[in-house]
């Protein structure tokens, strides 16, 4: 009697498939952006920063565990997450108080991911929206809301991973503030200029963002399974 032994099935992990897809879409959009505008390229290291942020944000949001909670708990967690994103945007300079009484808006065609950078100044609010950073801040706010569902649904002792994640994520704002300060001051991302590494603050901010996104998505102090 002959017995057939089949090799174990092998498949690419879902997060890796998502990362490859995200990189492919970003590459296509970047090529189209470069072809349709006069935006130039920058140093490979700085060009990679937006790709890392967006890819990590997409993977974290797509594969983060979503605890099932009631509608009220979901709205509370969502509201806190939105407030967190708004606060992080304020700290990094994406949102701020208007410096001038008039209203103005412009679009800077910086390298892919860094641009198109949208700036707006109204009577009350000023916006400086760098595409990759906007994606990252929104993703962190959403991940914070998911982490808070653990605390709301399972209690503080069981959902302590979410609390630890919040502390870890808050620390990521520090290097982001430094890089934003350099950008707005012209040291890192001047008006009409390509971004350059200024004291490594952008790279430090990227490393902190990756760590914060992982902690918030995986919440390692609780049982977690990629889906």
Distances (CA, A) of 161 to 146, 158, 167, 216: 11, 8, 10, 8
Cα 10 vs. chain centroid, distance in angstroms? 31
The string of pLDDT tens digits covering residues 148-186 is 887 766 555 444 444 444 544 444 554 454 444 444 333
pLDDT of residue 18: 94
From 53, 51, 69, select the one nearest 147 (Cα to Cα): 69
CA–CA gap between residue 97 and residue 154 (Å, rounded): 38
CA–CA gap between residue 74 and residue 79 (Å, rounded): 8
Which stretches in the chain have pLDDT values below 50?
A: 157-165, 167-171, 174-175, 177-199, 223-227
Cα 166 vs. chain centroid, distance in angstroms? 15
For residue 227, what are its two tokens? 């889906």
pLDDT of residue 5: 53
pLDDT of residue 190: 37
For residue 167, what are its two tokens? 């502390």
């Amino acid at each position: 009697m002959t017995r057939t032994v089949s090799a174990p099935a092998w498949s690419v992990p879902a997060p890796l498939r998502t990362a490859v897809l995200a990189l492919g879409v970003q590459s296509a959009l970047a090529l189209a952006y470069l072809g349709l505008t006069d935006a130039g390229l920058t140093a490979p290291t700085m060009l990679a920063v937006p790709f890392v942020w967006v890819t990590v944000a997409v993977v974290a949001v797509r594969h983060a565990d979503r605890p099932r909670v009631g509608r009220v708990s979901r709205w509370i967690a969502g509201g806190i997450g939105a407030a967190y994103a708004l606060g992080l945007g304020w700290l990094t300079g994406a949102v701020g108080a208007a410096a001038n009484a008039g209203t103005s808006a412009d679009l800077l065609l910086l390298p892919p991911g860094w641009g198109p950078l949208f700036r707006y100044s109204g009577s009350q609010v000023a916006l400086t929206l760098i595409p990759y950073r906007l994606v990252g801040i929104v993703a962190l706010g959403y991940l914070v809301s998911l982490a808070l569902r653990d605390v709301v649904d399972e209690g503080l002792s069981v959902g302590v991973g979410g609390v630890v994640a919040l502390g870890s994520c808050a620390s990521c704002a520090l290097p982001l503030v430094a890089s934003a300060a350099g950008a707005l001051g012209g040291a890192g991302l001047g008006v009409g200029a390509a971004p350059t590494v200024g004291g490594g603050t952008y790279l430090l901010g990227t490393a902190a963002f990756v760590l914060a996104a992982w902690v918030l998505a995986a919440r390692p102090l609780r049982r977690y399974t990629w889906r």
